[in-house]
Amino acid sequence: MYQLISQTNGSSSTKYVELENKGHWFEGALTTPPLLQFYEKTLRQSCVPPIPLHFTMLIPDPAGIGSRAGLKIDALKTPDQIGKMIVERNPAFSSWTLTTRNISQFHLMVGSPPRHNDFRYGLQSGPLNSILRSPGHFTIRSASPGCSAVSLQVARNLHQYFAADVEFLLEANRPTTSSGNLIQIAIGQDDLESGEQANPVTIGDSYLILKRANGCESTIARESGIGAVYLRPATNKRLELVVWGSDEAGLRQAARLLPLLTGVGLPELIIVSKRCASQGSAGVVAMGSLTKSWRLSESSYVS
């Protein structure tokens, strides 16, 4: 590490401290004496670093990335590619030149960003684990007695991993008082109606209908052992995670995909078959990302 520091800038102000008998993470890791000294020194500095004349922003997930120099990326054109913005400043003419790639929308932090009711925005953006960025306690909605064990397991996992509070709703259309995200657990013919029209999946009597970004639809035969987990919009710009199974076996397979680790980028839609029990990921029949209009992106996989 000393050698790498000297190779990068050779600055004598750069300090590397090794803590004896300490692992990667431990209680108090962010309040060690060297870090406290660093905090104090940084906070005392009154000058703000100047904005560079040339810089690049790479955006894998707009909801998980902040702003730079007052520029905030709101949405990508396709979610399965990284967004890129190249900024070049010309102080002589007080001008900025922005070059973007795979960026659908951005705004200046001095004003409010434009919003569209049918588009993913803010905390609705990102992969499957975006459901964990809940502004309030979770609500689990389950109208079928056959979902009770899975619903309880989901609530237990959320509490064990994140100390998260959960509200249970046992009636399909009963409104929730929570400002947090929703998790809908359903089996078979349970009512999966949503308060929002932008729904990427329609579950029919014989088929699952996937809405594609090109305006077409893909169908998957609804057979025993089929399970699905996917994101869809909820009211008041919240997120809803649907965990559905054609039967109990399919529901339990889908429930295993509930994101329990932050930073692990699972796709926003995964449909599994009973073959997953013996073949693993080879038994997946559909998997992919959702566009800003809640449609399955073109690079997604559908068998």
Q: Are residues 144 and 253 in the same domain?
A: yes
Is 23 inside any structural domain? Answer: yes
Q: Are residues 205 and 163 in the same domain?
A: yes
Q: Are residues 95 and 180 in the same domain?
A: no
The residue assigned the tokens 């102080």 is 91
Q: Are residues 92 and 231 in the same domain?
A: no
Please give the backbone phi and psi of residue 223, each rounded to the nearest 5 degrees, phi first.
Answer: -120, 175
Q: Are residues 258 and 132 in the same domain?
A: yes
pTM: 0.76
Is 171 inside any structural domain? Answer: yes
* Nearest-angstrom CA–CA distance, 93 and 89: 9
Is 275 inside any structural domain? Answer: yes
Is 121 inside any structural domain? Answer: no
Among 67, 88, 114, residue at a domain's last position: 114
Q: Are residues 97 and 227 in the same domain?
A: no
The gap between the terminal CA atoms of the chain, to the nearest Å, is 48
Does residue 257 sit in helix, strand or coil?
coil
Q: Are residues 159 and 279 in the same domain?
A: yes
pLDDT at site 114:
63
pLDDT band per the 50, 70, 90 thresholds, residue 286: very high
Q: Are residues 191 and 262 in the same domain?
A: yes
Please give the backbone phi and psi of residue 82, each rounded to the nearest 5 degrees, phi first.
Answer: -75, 135
pLDDT above 80 for 61: yes
147-204 confidence digits (pLDDT tens):
889 999 999 999 988 888 998 887 656 666 678 999 999 998 766 765 556 788 988 8
Q: Which domain holds residue 94?
A: 54-114
Is 119 inside any structural domain? Answer: no
Is 122 inside any structural domain? Answer: no
Is 21 inside any structural domain? Answer: yes
Q: Are residues 83 and 10 in the same domain?
A: no
Does residue 63 sit in helix, strand or coil?
helix
Q: Are residues 33 and 86 in the same domain?
A: no
139: CATH: 3.30.379
- Mean per-residue pLDDT of the chain: 84
Task: Look at the chain and report how many structural domains it folds into.
Answer: 3
Q: Are residues 10 and 137 in the same domain?
A: no
Does residue 238 sit in helix, strand or coil?
strand
Q: Are residues 58 and 24 in the same domain?
A: no
Percent of the chain with pLDDT over 90: 30
Is 195 inside any structural domain? Answer: yes
Among 261, 167, 164, 268, residue whose Cα is nearest residue 211: 268
